[in-house]
Amino acid sequence: MSSSDQITQQAATGKSVVAIIGGGFAGINAARALKHADAEIVLIDRRNHHLFQPLLYQVETAVVSPADIAAPLRQLEEKQKNATVVLGEVTGVNLASRTLKIFTEGSGTRTLRFDYLIVAAGMQSSYFGHDEFAQFAPCLKTLTDAEAMRTKILRAFEIAALTDDPAERSKYLTFAVVGGGATGVELAASLGTMVRDTLQGDFRHLDPSQAKIMLIEGGKRILPSFHETLSTKVANHLESLRVELKLGSNVEHIDENGFVVGGNRIACATVLWAAGVSPSPVLKLLGAQTDRGGRVIVDDQMRVPNTQGVFVVGDAANITRGDRPLPGVAQVAIQSGAYAGRLIAGELSGQKTAKAFSYFNKGNLAVVGKNFAVLERDNFHMSGFLAWLVWAVVHLAFLPQLQNRLRVEIQWVYSYITGSRGARIIPEAPTEQRVRSEKKAKAA
């Protein structure tokens, strides 16, 4: 099949083609909802795996390994006979001709004609116009990001253990997390547990518990999407983990030696970014109306207004409940993706009407280290150990496959009992880079 050919064989089968952009929670659940539809389902993603993002911070802090929270998208073809997975990046969307341009490594740009289009591209990290911060403050959106953060954290302790300069040691034992949302809170708490429990005994000439961890939030409180009482409880628990909160100040500058916040410069070798998100570039290709955050405004059936058969779901969509947009969390993505898939399946089978999308709020959860979490569902609030158990059960249940659940459960139990984290690995640099470093060291 040449690069000008269709990716699927829809011309031969005569079946409708449903193209899904994105293999996250929304895209996967949309595809599964179309399992029995008389259509060709084509799922396109630039990664070859579905990632369980809620536990990504645990890869970053060495609780679990990358493979524990990811599953190959190729499994979709094995389990779903009408599905095709394409490893590629959508570079063009033509709603008039109903075609996608997809760049695939080794084959160049290919064209896919579609009858229905579901955009589940999600969001990406945002540095709020300061993209120069990215080289010094890694974000947390992909497995590569998590491994880069883990390497940066573990290497900081290794350097601190070898230096005789107190100022240099202090710099490498200072960690800053930028962003007081759920990701930032979970990251800071996991770091606090790591230095207090996991790394104790690993170093003969260094006390990891002397590390300084800061959580920086520009707003007046952390976890702004949760009720204020829960936010206060989380703040108190973070302080018990020796996490210092810096509220009401924005980071003004970041470089390799530290950062500036509230006009004050702080020496810090490890800055971790969890502050914001921006829309996927794919959304701009649609030419649709967006909100201030860049999310596409959809109607009550997840359709893009004034288009035929085009849906946007998950984090990429502005989905309102009453007069408020729904948060960009996994449950919204799962439910909206499944809804769009069911709606299309119904239309393909002759059903012309469908109920509007209705979100069932199962509650918001945030974990704050060992034995403590917060749960909020409408007016119901819970915090402490019981909420932590709920968090653990829910996250195990939604991991992508059985082997993931078993591996994570075993690792959690082991870590809970011993405090150890087995994924404390700093990967070697690629051979070419290592050779350059060795030459540089010899020259010095």
Read off the tokens for 300.
């009550």
Q: Give me the catalytic one of 40, 60, 147, 186.
A: 186
For residues 287 and 94, give the distance between their C-alpha atoms in angstroms, rounded to a whole number.
10
Where helices occur in 7-98 by DSSP H, the ranges are 10-13, 25-33, 56-60, 75-79
For residues 115-142, one letter each, b for 16 or more C-beta atoms within 10 angstroms of the residue's C-beta and e for the rest, the string is bbbbbbbbbebbbeeeeebeebbbbbbb
Asked whether the beta carbons of 145 and 241 are under 8 A apart, the reply is no
The Cα–Cα gap between 43 and 175 comes to: 39
- The Cα–Cα gap between 230 and 34 comes to 39
The yes-or-no answer on residue 347 being catalytic is no
> 206-229 burial, b if ≥16 CB within 10 A, otherwise e?
bebeebebbbbbbeebbbeebeee
143 DSSP β-pair partners:
none
Catalytic positions, please? 186
